[in-house]
Structure 1
Amino acid sequence: MAPASPFNLTFVLFDGFSNMVLASAIEPLRAACDLSGRRLFSWQLASPEGAAATSSSRLSIGVDLPLASVGATDALILVAGYGVRDHLRRETLQAILQKVRGMPLIGGFDTGAWLLAAAGVLTGRRASIHWMEREALAEAFPEILVEDAPVVRDGPFLTCGGAQAVLNWSLDLIGHRADPALQFDVSNMFGRDPSHGNRPPLPNRPEPMQAGLLPPSLQRAVVAMRQTADQPQPLARIAERAAVSERTLDRLMRAHLGVAAGQYYRTIRLAHARALATETKLPLPDIAARTGFASASTLARAYRKHYCETLGESRRHGNQNRSPARSGDSRSCSAR
C-alpha cells in the first residue's frame, strides 16, 4: 500500500550541476505519480542564495527558495557538478551543516559528496562520487572511505556518482515507497531494465550499461579504462579484465565506437587531464603523472592535438565558465 503522505525531497542546486543528474532523480518520481494517479512524491528546488542555478550546459533553472529557508523535508539532496570547489565557502558549508542535522536522508549527487565532506558530516563514513573526482576526494579527505561504487548509503547519507546511479536510486525509491509493479512500469518508460536490483534480467532486453548498448565485454573494458586512467595499464591487461583477447578488444572498439582501443583509452586520459586542469590548481607535471603520461611535454602535445588548445587555455576557460561544454571549448581537433 502506498504511503498516506507524499515523500518530500528538496534538491539544492549548485552552479555547474548536471541537468541529466537532476532529471534522472525527478522524472521517474514524476512518472510514478502520473502512472499511479497518487501524489507519492513531492519535491522542491533550492539554491544557496535562492537565485536561479546555472547547469553545466548553461541552462538557468529557477528555484523555489534559498537553502536557509528549507524547512521540514524527508530528503535534502545536494546536486553539484563542475566547479564544486568554488562552492566551498564558509557560509555555504555552515548552512549545509545546519540543515543536515536531524535530517532523515541527506544526499550528495554527482560531486555533491565534496560539499558534504567539506562540511565535515562524512567523517568516518563511506561515500561515492563521480569517478573523475574519486581519487581527489579520497586524497583531500582521508577520513572518508571513498568507494568505487555508483551508490553508497551509510546511515542517513546517500551519495551517487552520476546520472545512471541516480536513476537507479530513483527507481529503487519508487519500489520502496510504492510497489515493484510501479517500479517496473516506470523503468520501462525510461528504457531501463529494473534487473539492476535483485531481479533476474528480462528476456530480449539488452544489457544495462553506462554508455549505450555495448556488449558486456566492451562495457567491462571501458570501465577498466576509466578506473585506471591515472595509472594506465597495457591493453593486454585491459583485455584480460574484459575476458577477451587484445585483438578482439580492438575489433569491438572499432566496430562499436569507431576508434582503436588505444585511441579510446588515451581519450579517457585526456578527458581526465582536462577535468584536473579546470577543476584543480595542480601544475602540469602533476596532471601528467595522474593521467599516465610520461612527462608534462608529452601530455601537452597530446592535449593540444586533441583539443586544439593548451591545458593553460582550458584552465582559463574553466575559470570563466566551469562547464566544459562551452561552444568551442571542448571540441576535439580530430572532429574538424
Structure 2
Amino acid sequence: MLLPGFGLGALAGATDVLQAANALLAETGEAPRFGPAYTTVLLGGEVPPDRVSGECRVASASGAQLLARPLAEAGALDALFVVAERPFSAVPGSAPSAARAELLALLLQLAAAGRLLGGIGTGAAWLAEAGLLRGHRATVHWPQIGPLAERHPEVLVSQRVWEIDRGRLTCAGHQASRDLLIGWLGQRHGERFAQELAAQFGLAHVPAADERQHAPLGARLAAQQGGGSAKLAEAVALMEANLAEPLPTEEIARLVGVSRRQLERLFRQHLDALPSRWYLGLRLALAQRLLRQTSQSVLQIALGCGFASGPHFSNAYRGFYGRTPRDERSPRAAAWRAEGQPPQTANSPPATDDHALARDTAQPDDPT
C-alpha cells in the first residue's frame, strides 16, 4: 500500500528481494507459501482513482508517480505492507476522513483474517493507529521513533533498523526494507537461503536483527530540549571523518576553536560521555558493522578503524561489547542476532530499554 510521499528506494528494496527470492526458489524447485511466486500488487492509499482508467496515481517523495489499484479492488491478500515516508505528525487527520477510514478498515480486516502486516518507513504508524501493534515490538524511520512512542505507549517502539514480531514486520526507510525482507524470508526458508539471497545484493552476511538506526548527530542535538551545540556537532563530524586515523582530543578541540576542558564539558552536557570514550564508541560501532557485513579479516578491520594491532583491537572490543571480534562472527552470535537478542557475557553492558530510549531520541546509545 503506497501512501503519497512514499520512498521509491524503500519500495524497490522490498520488491527486489521478493523477485530475487522467486529466482532462487525456482532454482531449488521449492514453491513459496504465497502461491507459485511472491507476487507484488501495488495499492494506492488516500488517492482517489482516476475516472477513466480506474487506477490511482501515487506520487513518491521524489515526485515520480506510480500506478496502483484502489483499495476497493485489493482482492485476496496474504500480506500487506504500508509504505510511507511522511512525518508521523502528518498522519492523523492528513487524509480525508473517508480515505483514512477505508485504509484502517482494510488493515483491521486483514488482521482479523490472520494476515501478515508490515510497515516500511513510517508505515508502522498506520498499524499503530489501527490498534494492531499493541504489545508488539515495532520500528519506524528514526525521526518518528519518539513521536510514535509518545502517541502509542502500548507499542514497544524499537530503535532497530527492522523488527519481526508475531506477524508484524516493520522497518525504517531506504535499504531497511531490503534487510527486513531478507530476514523474514530467511525465517521462512532457512539460514542458507537467506545467505544466498543476501549475496544477490552484494552483502557478505545476512543483515543482523539487532542493528540500530544511526541518526545524524545534528538532528539528535537539535531534538534536545534547549537546542544543541554547533561546536559539539563539528567535533563529532571530525571524529566521524577520521575513524581510520583518530585525532587526539587536544587536536579536535583546537580545530573547532575551544579548549579541551570546554570540549569535555560539551560532551558531558549533551552526550554524557568523555570525547575519548565517544570517539572509541564510533570506531568500535564501525568495526561491529564491518564484522557483521563484510568478509574482511579481523586485522584489516582493526587497522581500518584506527587500532594499531589486532590484540589492541580485540581488547578494546571486548571491554566495550563484552565479547571479542571473533566471537562476533561465530555461528552462536549469528543465531543470537537472528533471534533479535545480542550475545551477553559476564562483562557485557546491561541491556538497553528500547521503549524508554524511544521517548528521547536525542540520546544515542552509549555502551558505557
TM over 0.5: yes
| Alignment deviations for residues 25-65 of structure 1 (CA, whole Å, 9 cap, x no partner) | 110121222244365422211123551221111111112x3
- Aligned positions of 1:283-298 closer than 5 A: none
State the one-letter code of the partner of 1:82: R
State the one-letter code of the partner of 2:238: D
How far is the alpha carbon of 1:238 from its aligned partner? 8.7
Please tell me whether residue 110 in structure 1 is matched to residue 121 in structure 2.
yes
| Alignment deviations for residues 261-297 of structure 1 (CA, whole Å, 9 cap, x no partner) | 98xxxxxxxxxxxxxxxxxxxxxxxxxxx999xxxxx
Provide the C-alpha distance between the structure 2 equivalents of 1:103 and 1:130, rounded to a whole number of angstroms.
26
1:250 to 238, 250, 253: 238
Which residue of structure 1 aligns with residue 44 of structure 2?
47
**Partner of 1:14: helix, strand, or coil?**
coil
Provide the C-alpha distance between the structure 1 equivalents of 2:25 and 2:168, rounded to a whole number of angstroms.
28
Provide the C-alpha distance between the structure 2 equivalents of 1:122 and 1:33, rounded to a whole number of angstroms.
29
Tell me, yes or no, if the aligned pair for 1:229 and 1:291 is still in contact at 8 Å.
no
Which residue of structure 1 aligns with residue 79 of structure 2?
75
- C-alpha distance 44-224 of structure 1, shift in aligned 2 (>3 A): same
Tell me, yes or no, if the aligned pair for 2:9 and 2:175 is still in contact at 8 Å.
no
Provide the C-alpha distance between the structure 2 equivalents of 1:99 and 1:47, rounded to a whole number of angstroms.
16
- C-alpha distance 189-229 of structure 1, shift in aligned 2 (>3 A): farther
Please tell me whether residue 177 in structure 1 is matched to residue 162 in structure 2.
no
- C-alpha distance 186-135 of structure 1, shift in aligned 2 (>3 A): same
Please tell me whether residue 230 in structure 1 is matched to residue 249 in structure 2.
no
State the one-letter code of the partner of 1:253: A
Provide the C-alpha distance between the structure 1 equivalents of 2:208 and 2:7, rounded to a whole number of angstroms.
25
Please tell me whether residue 161 in structure 1 is matched to residue 149 in structure 2.
no
Provide the C-alpha distance between the structure 1 equivalents of 2:194 and 2:136, rounded to a whole number of angstroms.
29
Provide the C-alpha distance between the structure 1 equivalents of 2:175 and 2:187, rounded to a whole number of angstroms.
18
Provide the C-alpha distance between the structure 1 equivalents of 2:192 and 2:138, rounded to a whole number of angstroms.
30
Which residue of structure 1 aligns with residue 62 of structure 2?
57
- C-alpha distance 196-255 of structure 1, shift in aligned 2 (>3 A): closer
State the one-letter code of the partner of 1:100: A
Tell me, yes or no, if the aligned pair for 1:124 and 1:143 is still in contact at 8 Å.
yes
- C-alpha distance 183-44 of structure 1, shift in aligned 2 (>3 A): same
**Partner of 1:43: helix, strand, or coil?**
coil
Tell me, yes or no, if the aligned pair for 2:221 and 2:229 is still in contact at 8 Å.
no
Tell me, yes or no, if the aligned pair for 1:117 and 1:141 is still in contact at 8 Å.
yes
2:136 to 125, 128, 152: 125
**Partner of 2:170: helix, strand, or coil?**
strand
How far is the alpha carbon of 1:233 from its aligned partner? 6.6
State the one-letter code of the partner of 1:70: A
Compute the RMSD of aligned alpha carbons.
3.8
Provide the C-alpha distance between the structure 2 equivalents of 1:96 and 1:175, rounded to a whole number of angstroms.
25
User: Which of 138-147 and 226-235 deviates more?
Assistant: 226-235
State the one-letter code of the partner of 2:130: A
**Partner of 1:61: helix, strand, or coil?**
strand
How far is the alpha carbon of 1:187 from its aligned partner? 1.8
How far is the alpha carbon of 1:122 from its aligned partner? 2.1
| Alignment deviations for residues 277-320 of structure 1 (CA, whole Å, 9 cap, x no partner) | xxxxxxxxxxxxx999xxxxxxxxxxxxxxxxxxxxxxxxxxxx
- C-alpha distance 127-227 of structure 1, shift in aligned 2 (>3 A): farther
TM-score (norm 1): 0.56
| Higher Cα radius of gyration | 2
Q: Which runs of 5+ in 1 are unaligned?
A: 1-11, 199-207, 211-218, 240-245, 263-289, 293-336
User: Which of 65-74 and 222-231 deviates more?
Assistant: 222-231
Tell me, yes or no, if the aligned pair for 1:68 and 1:95 is still in contact at 8 Å.
no
Q: Which runs of 5+ in 2 are unaligned?
A: 28-35, 49-54, 245-251, 257-359, 363-368
- Aligned positions of 1:30-41 closer than 5 A: 30-37=19-26, 39-41=36-38
TM-score (norm 2): 0.51
Please tell me whether residue 19 in structure 1 is matched to residue 5 in structure 2.
no
Runs of 4 or more, structure 1, over 6 Å off, are: 232-239
Provide the C-alpha distance between the structure 2 equivalents of 1:69 and 1:37, rounded to a whole number of angstroms.
29
How far is the alpha carbon of 1:181 from its aligned partner? 3.8
Which residue of structure 2 aligns with residue 147 of structure 1?
158
- C-alpha distance 194-228 of structure 1, shift in aligned 2 (>3 A): farther
How far is the alpha carbon of 1:228 from its aligned partner? 5.1
- C-alpha distance 131-195 of structure 1, shift in aligned 2 (>3 A): same
Which residue of structure 1 aligns with residue 275 of structure 2?
none
State the one-letter code of the partner of 1:52: R
- Aligned positions of 1:294-333 closer than 5 A: none
- Aligned positions of 1:182-197 closer than 5 A: 182-197=193-208
Provide the C-alpha distance between the structure 1 equivalents of 2:206 and 2:218, rounded to a whole number of angstroms.
25
**Partner of 1:92: helix, strand, or coil?**
helix
Tell me, yes or no, if the aligned pair for 1:75 and 1:103 is still in contact at 8 Å.
no
Count of matched residue positions in the alignment of Structure 1 and Structure 2: 225
- C-alpha distance 77-103 of structure 1, shift in aligned 2 (>3 A): farther
